[in-house]
Amino acid sequence: MAEPPNLAPAPPTRPAALPAWHPPSPDARAAFVAALRPDEKGLVAAIAQAEGTGEVLMLAWMNAEAVAETLETGRVTYYSRSRRKLWRKGATSGQVQHLLDLRLDCDGDALLATVHQEGVACHTGRRSCFSWGLAGEAVAPLEPVLQDPARLYGREG
């Protein structure tokens, strides 16, 4: 009898317009991870910045495992503090971040990832998580919702 087909979704492919991802060698990845200076919880701040425009898309957290996976796969992976596990950007929503460059700050406690963002970066459906500010006397969204969050995360009514 034939094996049933693998129904797991295929991992997102790198867009043809992007250069192919060539992971650093295992020794280079280990050296990069060793240069991290995480906080007491093992985390460093990670800023995602859009390729070409420099727009800051989001801030999240990475641990050593997330950094190593990001460098190996070219798909940006974070650490979810609330779920206490790795979080592969776009695994649920399809809003994948493809790594173009990963840099460490001078103290080793923060990262800057230059990414190709597929779709929106924010779970609110906005392009950037940094889309709120003062509108007169009130804090309000300054950018429009581009995609319905319920559809992104499969919570349609």
Domain layout of the chain by residue ranges: 26-152
Q: Which residues are annotated as a binding site?
A: 105-107, 109, 122, 129
Average confidence score pLDDT of the chain: 90
CA distance 111 to 140: 28
> Region 85-110: what's the mean pLDDT?
94
Q: Which residues are annotated as a binding site for Mg(2+)?
A: 105, 107, 109
Given a cut of 90, is residue 139 above it in pLDDT?
yes
Per-residue confidence band for 12, with pLDDT thresholds at 50, 70 and 90: low
Q: Which residues are annotated as a binding site for Zn(2+)?
A: 106, 122, 129
> In degrees to the nearest 10, what's the CA dihedral of 137, 142, 148, 149?
-70
Q: What is the pLDDT of residues 28-37, one digit of tens each?
A: 999 999 999 9
Q: Which of 8-17, 53-62, 145-154 has the highest mean pLDDT?
A: 53-62
Amino acid 150: pLDDT:
86
Q: What CA–CA distances, in Å, run from 99 to 14, 104, 129?
A: 10, 14, 18
More confident residue, 157 or 153: 153
Q: What is the fold, at CATH topology level, of the domain defined by 26-152?
A: Ubiquitin-like (UB roll) (3.10.20)
Given a cut of 60, is residue 133 above it in pLDDT?
yes
